[in-house]
Copies of this chain bind each other. A is one copy, B any other.
Amino acid sequence: MKKSLIALAVMAASGAAMAQSSVTLFGVVDEAVSYVNGGNNWNGINSGGNATSRIGFRGTEDLGGGLKANFWLEAGILADTGAGGNSSGSGLEFKRRSTVGLEGAFGEVRLGRDLTEAYKATSRYDVFGQVGFGVSRLWSDGSLGGVGTSTQRVSNMITYVSPNFSGFKAAANYGFGEKAGDNKANRYFGGGLTYDNGPLSLGLSAERQNAGPAATYWTGAAYTAGYTAKDVTTWALGGSYDLGVAKLAAAYKDSKAKDDNGNKDKLKGYYIGLSAPVGTAGEVKASYNHYEGTQFGQAKLKADQFALGYVHNLSKRTAVYGTYAYLKNKNKDGKNLNINLGGATLKDNGAQHGLQVGIRHSF
C-alpha cells in the first residue's frame, strides 16, 4: 500500500497540539520548453523557468515560553534530467538550505548554509523571482564573471534575524572561512535591512567576502581561470510599490573587488520591473536591466536586458507560463561581459532572443 502525506489543511483542523511537531515536505517541479537564438541556436528543456525545481523538508517545534526550534533542508533538482541541482555535479544535496535555528522574542539565530541576508534583502525585487530567462543577473551566481556577482549562498554561517519593528527588520550573516591559522581568509559577512509596510517595500544590503586561495565556501562564482577575486564588497538598494493595478519595482547594485594583479574590478547595474494582475488568474511581468563592468583593468563593458513574461495560474500550486527575454551585450575590443541566455553561443553582435514556455507545479 502506498503512503500519503496529509494536507496542511487537515493538519490545522486537528488542533493546536499537532502544530508542535509538524514536519512539512515541500517542493517544486518546473520545466519549460526553451529556445535561444545566437551564433548557434539552441532548443531544449530547462528546469525552473518560473521557480527553481526543488525538494525539501522543514519543521518548527514549539518549545514553550515563546521559544521555537526550526530546521530546513532543501535540495535543488534539475527536473529535465533528474540530476541534483547543485553546481558540483553530485546527486541530491541540501545545498539550497541546510539550517537549524532557535527563534523567540529576541529574533532568530540559525546555523548552517543558506541564502545570504544581503542577497535576500534586495534580490526579492526581481519580478522574475531570480529564475528563468528573465532573471535579473545583478544577483545571479557567476553569470557576470569576475567582480560582478554577489554570493547567493554561503556555508558554515551564523545568522541573526531581528524581530519586526513596525515593518523594519535587520538580518546579518557571518560565514566562517574555516581555514586553519587564518580566520580572515575566505570568511564572509554581510546583512540586509528591510522595511515592509502596506504597499511599500524597501531593502538595503551590504556584504564583504575575503576570498583566498582556497575559497571553498564561495560557490557558483565563475571566475576566469587563474583569477581569484579578493575583498569583494557589494552593496545594493531596492524597493517596490504596489499600486493595485500594478506593482513597480527598482534596484541598484554595486560591486568592487581586487584581482591577483592588483587591478580594481567593478560591476554595477540597475533594474526596473513591473508586474500586474490580468483577470483572476493571470499575471504579466516586465523588466529592464542595465549592467556595466570593468575587469582586469580593461575597458568598461555593457549589456542591456529586456524581459516580458506571462503566468497563468491554474490553481495556487500550478501554473503555465511563458517568458521572452532580449539580451544585448555591447562588446568592445572583442570582449563581452560574461553574460548569456544559456545554451546557444553569442552572435557576433552579442544580441540574443530567448523564449520559454513551461509548467510549474508546487507541492
What 0/1 pattern do residues 156 to 192 of A give for CB contact below 8 A with B? 1110000000000000000011111111000000000
Interface residues of A in 1-34 (CB under 8 A from B): 1-11, 14, 17-18, 20-27, 29-33
| Size of A's binding interface in residues, CB under 8 A | 99
Kindly provide the distance from the CB of A85 to the nearest chain B CB, expressed in whole angstroms: 10
Q: Does A93 interact with chain B (Cβ within 8 Å)?
A: yes
Q: Does A215 interact with chain B (Cβ within 8 Å)?
A: no
Kindly provide the distance from the CB of A132 to the nearest chain B CB, expressed in whole angstroms: 14
Copies of this protein in the assembly total 3
The residue from B26, B82, B183, B344 contacting A112, defined by CB atoms under 8 A apart: B82
Does more than half of chain A's interface fall in helix, strand or loop, or is it mixed? strand
Q: Which residues on the B side are within 8 Å of A39 (C-beta)?
A: 181
The list of the 9 closest CB pairs from A to B, nearest first, reads A40-B181, A91-B91, A82-B98, A44-B178, A82-B94, A40-B180, A31-B111, A81-B155, A44-B176
Q: Which residue numbers of A lie inside 8 Å of B, CB to CB?
A: 1-11, 14, 17-18, 20-27, 29-33, 38-45, 55, 57, 59, 61, 63-64, 67, 69-71, 73, 75, 77, 79-84, 86, 89-102, 111-113, 155-158, 176-183, 217, 314-318, 320, 343-345, 358-361, 363
